[in-house]
Amino acid sequence: MESDYDELDRRLAHALQINGRAPFSTIAEVLGVSDRTIARRYARLRSAGAVRVIGGVDPTAMGAVLWFLRVRCAPAASVPVAEALARRPDTSWVSITSGGTEITCTVRTESEADSEALLLAKLPRTQRVEGVTAHSVLHAFYGGPDNLVAKLGSLDEESIERLRPLPVPHRPGPVRLDDSDRKLLAALATDGRAEFEHLAAVTGWSPTTVRRRMAELRERGVLYLDIDVDGRLFGVGPRTLLWLSVAPAHLEEAGAALAAHPEIAFAAATTGPTNLCASVACAGQRELYRYLTTRVAMLPAITHVETAPVIRTVKQAAHPT
């Protein structure tokens, strides 16, 4: 519950959102406590599943396509189907919504053939799946390296600047991953603060090579640091998914406005029956109603809004929970 956490926990989570691999000594200095206190707090929060630094991967930097899938099935089948999807290495954010009759997830496909195999063959033939709606992500307005904690955190601008890492130069171009790269990314997905020596043992590289390759993958836009956070740490409840239809002439304006809302954890333009998708985090039903009838109602040219409360998250960014 929210009462399990205090302001130092929230400030630590905000600091890690700014710089996930910042030394505990640096965070401690900025927050005005001891190194030992920060190390102990992070260990406690991580073991409780409240805060976890992870290495996120942007598959679009490698030419992959992201899809949002809405999988309709009988309520009795939702858990086994969701768990089967969560076991796939190409899925993330597998959730059960809409009273248990729908599963939503993000799927990464590496090629048109992968997309066709998943969307036209594998899923529809899965036992007890009644229907699938697919939305290809065209443009992300908020999400990926942009984390909700950046909006909810309480650190002042001076503290943020002291923690902010040096900007990463952007080096566009094709990226090819070998087996060692994949081992590196898998290890960082589990623990974004893993020591270089541990990552060297996992990949078979030297610590210097690990450090250099991590820098290259960040410059190419493949790797970024992120945090998984229990929303209760900041007083917000389970996510609600929004599926919106917007007149095409106003899609960019509406998406940018939506991304600026403090309640929005993710927003993207998509293909499919609706063309704007968002993930919302509010404290409760009353706050969600207020949000829908004020901020969302003011968005330009909205013609349709569908809400789907998340009742269970089976898998988050990279691994089953």
Is it the case that residue 104 has pLDDT exceeding 60?
A: yes
Among candidate residues 79, 84, 75, the one with its CA nearest the CA of residue 125: 84
Question: Percent helix, strand, coil in the chain (nearest 5)?
Answer: 45, 25, 30
Residue 210's contacts (CB-CB under 8 Å, 6 or more residues apart) are: 184, 196, 199, 200, 203
Among candidate residues 137, 102, 124, the one with its CA nearest the CA of residue 311: 102
Segment 127-154 mean pLDDT: 91
Lowest mean pLDDT across 44-48, 116-120, 216-220: 116-120
Is it the case that residue 273 has pLDDT exceeding 70?
A: yes
Is it the case that residue 194 has pLDDT exceeding 60?
A: yes
Is it the case that residue 285 has pLDDT exceeding 70?
A: yes
The whole-number pLDDT of residue 2 equals 43
Is it the case that residue 108 has pLDDT exceeding 90?
A: no
Segment 245-250 mean pLDDT: 96
Segment 219-246 mean pLDDT: 94
Q: How confident is the model at residue 60 (pLDDT cuts 50, 70, 90)?
A: confident
The whole-number pLDDT of residue 128 equals 79
Is it the case that residue 163 has pLDDT exceeding 60?
A: yes
Segment 265-294 mean pLDDT: 96
In the chain, pLDDT over 70 holds for what percent of residues?
Answer: 93
Tokens of 286: 């009353």
Which secondary structure element, helix H or strand E, spans residue 78, and what is its range?
A: helix 78-86
Return the number of other C-beta atoms located less than 10 Å from residue 233's C-beta.
21
The whole-number pLDDT of residue 110 equals 74
The whole-number pLDDT of residue 321 equals 37
